[in-house]
A and B are shown apart, each in its own frame.
Chain A
Amino acid sequence: MTLKDMKIGEEAVISTIKGGYGIHAKLESMGLREGSRITKKSAVFAGGPVIVQAGSTQIAIGDGMANRIIVETVD
Chain B
Amino acid sequence: MKKILLMGNPNVGKSAIFTSLTGINARTSNYPGTTVSYTTGTLTVLKKGAACASCSKKSCKGCGYGSVEKIEVIDVPGTYRLDPLSEAEKVACQLLPEGDMIINVVDATNLERNLNLTLQLLEMNKPVIVALNMWDDTVHKGITIDVEKLSKMLGVPVVPTTGITGQGIDKLIEYITNYPHESAAKREYRNRWAAIGEIISAVQNLEHRRHTFLERLQDISIHPFAGIPVAIIIIIAVFRVIIGIGEFLIGIMEQLFERFYTPVIMAISRLLGGQGVLHRILIGDISGETIDYEAAMGVLTTGVFMEIGIVLPYILVFYIVLGFLEDLGYLPRLAVLFDRFMHRVGLHGFSIIPMMLAMGCNVPGILAIRNIESRRQRFITATLTAITIPCFAQSAIIFSITATYGTGYVIAILGTILSVWLVLGSVLSFFVEGTTDTLIMEVPPYRLPAFKVMLRNLGTRIYGFLTDAFPYVLGGIFFINILTILGVMDFLGKLAAPVITGIFGLPEGAVASFVLGIIRKDAAVTLLEPLNMSGAQMVTGVTLLIIYFPCMATFVIMLKELGLKDTFKSFVTMVIVTLLTGAYIRFFMNMFKNPWIYVILTVLLSFAVMLVLSRIADRRHQAEYT
Contacts and interface: CB of A to CB of B under 8 A. Distances in A.
A62 B83 contact: no
A13 interface: no
Given A23-B440, A60-B349, A62-B438, 11 more contacts: A25-B83, A26-B80, A28-B116, A30-B440, A54-B113, A56-B141, A56-B445, A57-B110, A62-B339, A62-B437, A63-B438
Interface string B324-351: 0000000010011101100000001100
Contacts of A43: 224
B407 to A, nearest CB: 32
B586 to A, nearest CB: 37
B578 interface: no
Interface residues of B, number: 38
B438 A65 contact: yes
B488 interface: no
Nearest to B220: A42
A60 B336 contact: yes
Nearest to B143: A56
Contacts of B438: 61-65
Interface in B462-482: none
B92 interface: no
* The 8 A-B residue pairs with the shortest CB-CB distance in the complex, in nearest-first order: A29-B80, A62-B438, A31-B113, A62-B439, A65-B438, A58-B443, A64-B438, A60-B336
Interface string B299-339: 00000000000000000000000000000000010011101
B85 A49 contact: no
Contact of A30 (B113, B219, B437): B113
Contact of B442 (A30, A49, A63, A64): A30
A16 to B, nearest CB: 16
A33 B225 CA distance: 28
Contacts of A20: none
Contact of A58 (B117, B349, B442): B442
Interface string B99-114: 0000000000110110
Contact of A55 (B83, B110, B228, B441): B110
Contacts of B228: 44-45
A64 B110 CA distance: 26
7 contacts: A26-B80, A29-B116, A41-B222, A45-B228, A48-B336, A59-B441, A59-B442
B339 A60 contact: yes
B120 to A, nearest CB: 10
A46 B193 CA distance: 35
Contact of B340 (A22, A42, A46): A46
B112 A55 contact: yes
